[in-house]
């Protein structure tokens, strides 16, 4: 039996793809113009020029920890809870349109 050739895209570990697939904030961390504009404002208001950068790093770390925890749960558990999670999400989304979602 002939050996199947693997494409280069199949050689990339799925964990790395999972880590970076949904991370929209990574380009923000790497974009210096955004850091300069927000740090100038925070220097006037918060007196800490790194306030937003520290906050971004904190939530990045929390996001990666949450991603790791969710990744370790067997996906069959999600199939069992899919409908309740979906309806809870829709309910929470609808709450935004009520007076509870207004400032």
Question: 102 falls in which pLDDT band (50, 70, 90)?
Answer: confident
Burial per residue of 52-82, b for 16 or more beta-carbon CB atoms within 10 angstroms, e otherwise: bbeebeeeeeeeeeeeeeeeeeeeeeeeeee
Residue 57 has which token pair?
Answer: 């790093």
User: Each residue of 20-78: pLDDT tens digit?
Assistant: 555 555 555 555 555 555 556 655 666 677 888 889 999 999 999 999 998 998 888 88
User: Which whole number is the average pLDDT over 12-17?
Assistant: 56
- pLDDT value, residue 50: 82
How far apart are the C-alpha atoms of 91 and 97, rounded to whole Å? 10
pLDDT tops 90 at residue 92: yes
């Amino acid at each position: 039996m002939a050996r199947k050739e693997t494409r280069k895209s199949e050689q990339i570990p799925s964990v790395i793809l999972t880590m970076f697939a949904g991370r929209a904030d990574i380009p923000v961390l790497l974009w210096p113009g955004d850091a300069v504009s927000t740090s100038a404002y925070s220097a006037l208001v918060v007196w800490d020029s790194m306030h937003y950068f520290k906050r971004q790093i904190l939530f990045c770390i929390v996001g990666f920890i949450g991603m790791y925890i969710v990744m370790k749960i067997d996906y069959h558990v999600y199939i069992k809870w899919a409908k309740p999670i979906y309806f809870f999400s829709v309910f929470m989304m609808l709450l935004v349109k009520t007076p509870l979602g207004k400032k």
